[in-house]
Structure 1
Amino acid sequence: MRAGTEGRRPWAAGAVVIAGRGPVVAAEEATGWAVRYASYDETTGRGVELPPDERVPVTVGTPFDLASLTKLFTAVAAVQQVERGTLRLDGRVGTYLPDFRAAAEHGVTVRQLLTHTSGLRPELPLYDCPTASARLARLRAEAPLTRPGTAYRYSDLNMLLLQHLLERLTGRTLDVLVRDGITRPLGMTATGFGPCPGAAATEDQRRPWAKADRGMLRGEVHDENAWALGGVAGHAGLFGTARDLAVFCRALLSGGSYGGARILGPGHVQLMLTPPGLGFLLDRPRFMGELAGRGAAGHTGFTGTSLVLDPATDTFLVLLANAVHPRRRPVPEHGPRAAAATRLARAVRGS
């Protein structure tokens, strides 16, 4: 994990990687520290390391803050409702959430939320709103920057609107939808919304580099908006292990089933994994390495997490890391993610 170093700082304090093909796990490795730093020293630009006997090593069972990998679970929860006929992909958000007046006025659709073509900006500083009602009012009033359906713009707001839509539609909160519809059926017992006390530490979160002053975080969601929203958000908030995410990957590569459980039918899984995709990022070369361009689908998370599915070879790769420990970088680095994906692609080609 030395790739992309900043001075003597590694890309991540610790990481777990798991790769598989078909029903076989080909590699599973853990390295580094779940907790290495006590704080970040802005005067030296380095982390303040804990004494060796106070550090916590990473194991293959260490949970990580999954960050934006949460979006995939929100997307699956939405597609489950599409499969059941209770939600229309091309239905307008305003039909389900008439009080979200800006999205309603601009005709934003469910499909546009799932494909990041709604035109909404990447994020809003909801963490600066003084009350929950103020946060909700700001989200309801947020209008697209461009005409919906005309351009791709990755946005956390898409999944926040989708969360509100699903909760209004089903009468259940997102954490319950994810638990009852995805993690419990698949036996993903180590995956859920926080708090998660045993998770790998993330950031010494302080201004000006962060958006809130919260100190060193461990087991509390890193994303400031998800934190302000109580830890359960459509775009971030889940914690989980690499082994659990391997099960999630296998279920999707197997057409929506794993063991005796089915979370989606094959047709709807294909809808998620083929262009333009629903929730997944398709053939994005920066983190998919040499898997890109072959029909691969995947996603990343700001904390250092990623997963890639390659339906053509029935392979998957999960990489969980605390790359923001003890402090985020100005620009997230994809080098180690891409290198791992390339190694998997070459191993499959050589088999």
Structure 2
Amino acid sequence: MVPVVLATAFLASSAQPALAHGHQAGRGFDEPYSGFAPPSTRLRTTTPKEAGLNTAEIDAMLAELAGYLLPQPSGRPLFPGAVVLASHDGKVAVHEAMGHAVKYADAEGSELPPHQQVTMAPDTIFDIASISKLFTSIVVMQQVERGRIDLDATVASYLPAFAANGKEAVTVRQLLTHTSGLPSWMRLWRPYPDRESRIQAVLSVAPKAPPETLYEYSDLNLITLGVLVERVGGEPLDVLVREGITEPLRMVDTGYNPPASKLDRIAATEFQTDPARGMVRGSVHDENAWSLGGVAGHAGIFSTAHDMSVLAQAMLNGGTYDGRTILSRHTTEQMLTDYNAGFPGHAHGLGFELNQRFYMGALASPSTAGHTGFTGTSLVIDPLSRSFVILLSNRVHPRREWSNVNAARRAVTGRVAHALAVTPRQGATAWFAGRQDGTTATLTLPVTLRADSTRLGFHLFVDSEETDLLTLEVSRDGGASWEPQPFVVSSRGRISPHDGTISGFTGRHWQQAAAEIEGPAGEVQIRWRYVTDALHQGRGVYVDGIRLGDADGLLLDGERSPERFVTDGWSEASR
């Protein structure tokens, strides 16, 4: 293990202030914010460059999305069309539409004549599916603020029928965090004949497990919350959403059961045969929500990218937008706080999902919040960079089995993350790896040591999936074998030892690392080996300011001798 005193001393001697080489306007990815944005922050349209984003990354993101409109290995496109919107620091840098809102005539994918197809537009209205759960959660929390709901009270204390089948102990908080033990789903449009019997079926359902023993993402949790908030709020759910969210935020195209006057702007979803609804457009896609009259706690909201952007910025602002407050800062913070520490991999606030790499991609962090929708929609809010990304697609048009859009979701979040700069700590560039899955990248430094104890210091930035590992290694036999090299990391006043490997979320800021290489003088190889698994990426890893020294002084300054490094999968990056 590296002696902490020695490591700290060497770090102090090698640390240099960050330089501004290649730094963009605004804060970069390695300059995380703390807390909410000023409540006065309003969205304004600008260019990627003016927003502090790398234009090449944004162009590549749009090209990648456009590529999904073409036939994939399945022989079908990932989606007929999409709208993407991205914002950083209150600046909307991207709001683009592509493809078609309506393209197909039937479940087999027969294309409509060109004059009957509808081109996607930036203001196309989408069925956002399960993102509706966030609206229900917000109106629940509004009732909490008014003292009408206690998060830790039992659901049965508000809805006595819910106590059926041993659910007496389930709380409101457990419904919001999907730890209630309820099953994920049940069919409501058959065999129950009407809305009343369908709601009764949900309230009386038998649990799958006792509360707090299982994480099970469940539509039934939110259907129940929709009924509960109607009971305590004294108004139907659509009225509570309109009066509590969409009217204050002026989300003029957001709500349940859109009027016929807006049909021309609505993206089609699926051609349904069970139930026999034909091509669904302008009516909620989710069959259970449809059977409940289009208004339900788990689905039913229609919206546009612009409207969703206002909600996203309101959350970043701590519950306020344009002088209108829908939630207090304290309540907003509660909604974005993880209550599921006992269920690793299922971080969840009060309604919002947290840190879900499968769709948040390189923007994922313990504080990154969002939700997806089955129809092909997603919202990702990253408080650390005060950014958000909205992807709205109609991927179920004409059939739900045609595609899964998680790759597209990660493409947009990943490109936005990489569009935010990581500024080298020394000089104009830093060594970078980490844009591909299933790869091994090595940065190797052959060197002749002069003493039995040599100090190694370097700057380190790590933002990876937990299973994507960066390992510091040493070889003394020409690379035939390698041993992990322990090191210590100093980060904002905290010093932590590592056995040679580091991964995961480390705070989105540069750290200082040091190791003492013990052993006889002579030729060695030092390398940084970054191994990624088959799926998901973080922002990647950077190494900079590499220095070697011993009792006789400085042995190598990596900034002055970059040619001494042997790279395989690493490159010099200016951002």
- Which structure is higher in strand share? 2
Distance 1:195 1:187, change over 3 A: closer
Alignment deviations for residues 188-242 of structure 1 (CA, whole Å, 9 cap, x no partner)? 00101014523100001124xxxx2211011010000000000000000000000
Quick check: 143-152 or 255-264, which moved more? 143-152
1:34 alignment partner in structure 2: 101
Quick check: 227-236 or 8-17, which moved more? 8-17
Amino acid paired to 1:237: G
Offset at residue 106 of structure 1 (A): 3.4
Unmatched tracts of structure 1, length 5 or more? 42-46
Alignment deviations for residues 257-307 of structure 1 (CA, whole Å, 9 cap, x no partner)? 000100001111111112121111110111011111352111000000000
Quick check: 99-108 or 224-233, which moved more? 99-108
Amino acid paired to 1:180: E
* Aligned counterparts, 1:114-129, within 5 A: 114-128=176-190, 129=192
2:310 alignment partner in structure 1: 247
SS in 2 for 1:245: helix
2:214 alignment partner in structure 1: 151
2:117 alignment partner in structure 1: 55
CA contact (8 A) 1:191 1:240 kept: yes
CA contact (8 A) 1:22 1:250 kept: no
Amino acid paired to 1:35: V
Query: Would you say 1:139 and 2:202 are equivalent positions?
Result: yes
1:44 alignment partner in structure 2: none
2:164 alignment partner in structure 1: 102
Distance 1:227 1:271, change over 3 A: same
1:70 alignment partner in structure 2: 132
* Aligned counterparts, 1:235-314, within 5 A: 235-276=298-339, 277-314=349-386
- The whole-number CA distance in structure 2 between the counterparts of 1:275 and 1:349 is 27
- Which structure is higher in helix share? 1
Bigger-Rg structure (1/2): 2
2:228 to 160, 165, 169: 165
Distance 1:6 1:225, change over 3 A: farther
- The whole-number CA distance in structure 2 between the counterparts of 1:71 and 1:273 is 14
Offset at residue 11 of structure 1 (A): 1.0
CA contact (8 A) 2:257 2:284 kept: yes
- The whole-number CA distance in structure 2 between the counterparts of 1:220 and 1:167 is 22
Alignment deviations for residues 146-198 of structure 1 (CA, whole Å, 9 cap, x no partner)? 11112211000000100111011011000000000000000100101014523
CA contact (8 A) 1:296 1:311 kept: yes
2:415 alignment partner in structure 1: 343
CA contact (8 A) 1:106 1:148 kept: no
1:21 alignment partner in structure 2: 88
- The whole-number CA distance in structure 2 between the counterparts of 1:332 and 1:101 is 37
CA contact (8 A) 1:302 1:332 kept: no
CA contact (8 A) 1:35 1:56 kept: yes
Find runs of 4+ consecutive structure 1 residues off by over 3 angstroms.
1-4, 103-106, 330-333
Alignment deviations for residues 6-47 of structure 1 (CA, whole Å, 9 cap, x no partner)? 633211111000000122101111000000011122xxxxx1
1:226 to 271, 289, 305: 289
CA contact (8 A) 2:195 2:293 kept: no
- The whole-number CA distance in structure 2 between the counterparts of 1:132 and 1:261 is 35
- The whole-number CA distance in structure 2 between the counterparts of 1:53 and 1:333 is 27
Offset at residue 136 of structure 1 (A): 2.4
Alignment deviations for residues 38-76 of structure 1 (CA, whole Å, 9 cap, x no partner)? 1122xxxxx110111111001110000010000000000
| TM-score under structure 2 length normalisation | 0.58
- The whole-number CA distance in structure 2 between the counterparts of 1:80 and 1:264 is 7
- The whole-number CA distance in structure 2 between the counterparts of 1:35 and 1:173 is 31
Amino acid paired to 1:235: H
Alignment deviations for residues 104-160 of structure 1 (CA, whole Å, 9 cap, x no partner)? 743110000000000111111011122233212311210211111122110000001
- The whole-number CA distance in structure 2 between the counterparts of 1:310 and 1:230 is 34
Distance 1:135 1:25, change over 3 A: same
SS in 2 for 1:226: helix
Amino acid paired to 1:282: L
- The whole-number CA distance in structure 2 between the counterparts of 1:241 and 1:76 is 18
Amino acid paired to 2:228: L
1:92 alignment partner in structure 2: 154
Quick check: 96-105 or 284-293, which moved more? 96-105
Quick check: 63-72 or 332-341, which moved more? 332-341
Quick check: 125-134 or 159-168, which moved more? 125-134
Distance 1:169 1:57, change over 3 A: same
% identical equivalent positions: 50
1:112 alignment partner in structure 2: 174
Distance 1:190 1:120, change over 3 A: same
- The whole-number CA distance in structure 2 between the counterparts of 1:160 and 1:308 is 23
1:8 to 75, 78, 83: 75
Quick check: 92-101 or 175-184, which moved more? 92-101
Distance 1:131 1:138, change over 3 A: same
With a CA cutoff of 8 Å and minimum separation of 6, indicate the structure with the bigger relative contact order.
1
Distance 1:188 1:295, change over 3 A: same
